[in-house]
Chain A
Amino acid sequence: MAEKKNTCDLFDCGHRACGGCGEALAARLVMQAAGTETIVVNATGCMEVFSTPYPETAWKVPWIHSLFENAAAVASGIEASLKKQGRKEKVVIMAGDGATFDIGMICISGAFERGHDFAYICYDNEAYMNTGIQRSGATPYDASTTTSPAGKCSFGNKLPKKDMPAILAAHGAPYVATASVAYPADLMQKIERAINTPGPCYVQVHVPCCTGWGFEGDQTVAIAKLAIETGLWVNFEMVDGKVTKVKKVVRKPVTEYLKTQKRFRHLFKPKLQETEIAAIQAIADRNAEKYGLDIKLPPKKE
């Protein structure tokens, strides 16, 4: 783990993220793990907008933004150039779930296929938050967004969350992991490993968005923790396509997580939607079975 630093961060103060932003927290932690010998490629998204309103920038490392869809392609070019010049800087891509799951998919697939040496960090806040909370491929089942609004005819987003780690593991990525801002030490360890593993590596970071999900800014970490404790987010590591490490939990019912956020409010008010909640519980149960999440407690002694 990176040593405790007392100086100012590589992702500095004064950026325009909302108070309690999970993304800003993730950016800080990623930069703490990555260190100064890093070139950051940012896709369009909240992070790009709030950290670099011209002529200001919160970044203290070389940073480039080109378009929404081509972060992986830009990083490929930088990596190839560094290699040709014999330089040792590491290339880190920071992209949101929209840029990763939907818009950037072609460039990502190409870059992973070519096997460039970079770390692709996807900060997953489960919708297009910057443009006003539109659903993306990462939006969970039944979440209300502005393009999948809950109302008389709908309970929100009807489609399941895309399994991006599996897609990139299938490309032959040597290291794929998921992490959460609720466990900063684990997050930084995974980022370091992704950066130091040769080849294209992928880390998907769960970052609660207080504005888009509808909760108070001080609850960011508590909600990220609940996502893991209910089994709706799984922290795992995949090496060469095989799951090697999973964060196990004593699972809580999914309602503990759902009731904390306005995007799921329609499941509780005006009346409790038991079928919908059962469907979400089934997603958590499937995760638990797939990854072996549950801690088996020894039977109580009499």
Chain B
Amino acid sequence: MAVAVGCRARPGKSRDNKTGSWRVFKPVFDHEKCSKCGMCRTLCPEGCIHEDAGGFFDPDYSFCKGCGLCATECPKEAITMKLEEK
């Protein structure tokens, strides 16, 4: 008889948990200032910043916790933190 041992979960099932609700400040990306270096994408602890077809970056607001790391590290200062309005 097969016995299930331990706790198992489907890969990446944490996406069910929309951490975007934690956010107080929201990063707003200015594509005109962006140099497409991808630093925000590399450094986001959530991994929620994605590259679009034009090479620009945008966060997935359903997961962005609003830590502001991308805004602080952006070499072009193309990201500003704005108070979230819900």
Least distance between A190 CB and chain B CB atoms (Å):
16
The answer on a CB contact under 8 Å between B14 and A57 is yes
In the assembly, what is the distance between CA of A183 and CA of B50, in Å? 20
9-residue interface stretch from A22-30, A70-78, A257-265? A22-30
Roughly how many angstroms separate A130 CA and B62 CA in the complex, as a whole number? 25
A15 within 8 A of B: yes
Q: Would you call A11 and B7 a contact (CB within 8 A)?
A: no
* Dominant SS among interface residues on chain A: loop
Q: A24-B46, A184-B42 are in contact. Are A54 and B9 (CB under 8 A)?
A: yes
From B10, B15, B51, residue with most partner A Cβ within 10 Å: B15
Interface-located stretch among A119-127, A148-156, A166-174, A212-220: A212-220
- In the bound complex, residues from chain A placing their C-beta under 8 Å from that of B16 are 14, 56
* Inter-chain contacts of A59 with B (CB < 8 A): 11-12
B70 to A, closest residue via Cβ: A218
- Contacting residues of chain A (1-50) with chain B, CB-CB under 8 angstroms: 4, 6, 8-9, 11-22, 24-25, 28-29
> How far in angstroms is the closest Cβ of chain B from A29?
8
Q: Does B13 touch A at the CB level, under 8 Å? A: yes
Give the complex CA separation of A29 and B13 in angstroms: 19
Q: Which residues of B contact A216 (CB under 8 A)?
A: 68
A60 is an interface residue with CB less than 8 A from chain B = yes
Is B68's CB under 8 angstroms from A217's CB? Answer: yes
Cβ-defined contact, B17 with A56, below 8 A: yes
Partner of A22, one of B10, B12, B45, B73: B45
CA of A57 to CA of B9, assembled, Å: 6
Given contacts A24-B45, A184-B43, is CB(A220)–CB(B69) below 8 Å? yes
What is the 8 Å Cβ interface bit string for chain B, positions 1-34, against chain A (1 contact, 0 not)? 0000001011111111111001100000000000
C-alpha spacing A217/B11, complex, angstroms = 27
Contacting A55 at CB < 8 Å: which of B7, B15, B19?
B7
Select from chain A the residue with minimum beta-carbon distance to B47. Answer: A9
Check B69–A221 contact: CB distance below 8 A.
yes
CB nearest neighbor in B for A63: B11
Which residues of the partner chain A approach B38 to less than 8 Å between Cβ atoms? Answer: 4
Contact of A219 with B51 in the complex, beta carbons under 8 Å: no
The reply on B48 being an interface residue by CB < 8 A is yes
B14 near A56: Cβ-Cβ < 8 Å: yes
Verify A14–B69 contact, CB threshold 8 A: no
Central interface residue in B13, B18, B48, by most chain A CB within 10 Å: B13
Q: B67 near A: Cβ within 8 Å?
A: yes
A51 is an interface residue with CB less than 8 A from chain B:
yes
- Residues of A near B72 (CB, < 8 A) are 218-219, 221-222
Indicate whether A61 reaches chain B with its CB closer than 8 angstroms. yes
Return the contact of B63 from the options A4, A14, A18 (Cβ within 8 A): A14
Whether the Cβ atoms of B51 and A6 lie closer than 8 Å is yes
Determine which of A11, A19, A25, A56 lies in contact with B13 in the assembled complex, contact meaning CB atoms within 8 Å.
A56
Say yes or no: A57-B13 contact (C-beta < 8 A), given A14-B19, A221-B73. Answer: yes
Q: How far is the CB of A239 from chain B (nearest CB, A)?
A: 27
A68 to B57, CA, bound (A): 38
State how many angstroms separate the Cβ of B63 from the closest Cβ of chain A. Answer: 4
**Chain B nearest Cβ from A216, distance in angstroms:** 7
Q: Tell me, rounded to whole Å, the shortest Cβ–Cβ distance linking A1 to chain B.
A: 11
Q: Which residues of B contact A (CB under 8 A)?
A: 7, 9-19, 22-23, 38, 42-48, 50-51, 60, 63, 65-69, 71-73, 81
Closest 3 CB pairs of A and B: A19-B67, A218-B68, A20-B67
Return 9 A-B CB contacts under 8 Å, by A number.
A12-B15, A28-B45, A55-B13, A56-B13, A57-B10, A61-B11, A218-B67, A218-B69, A222-B72
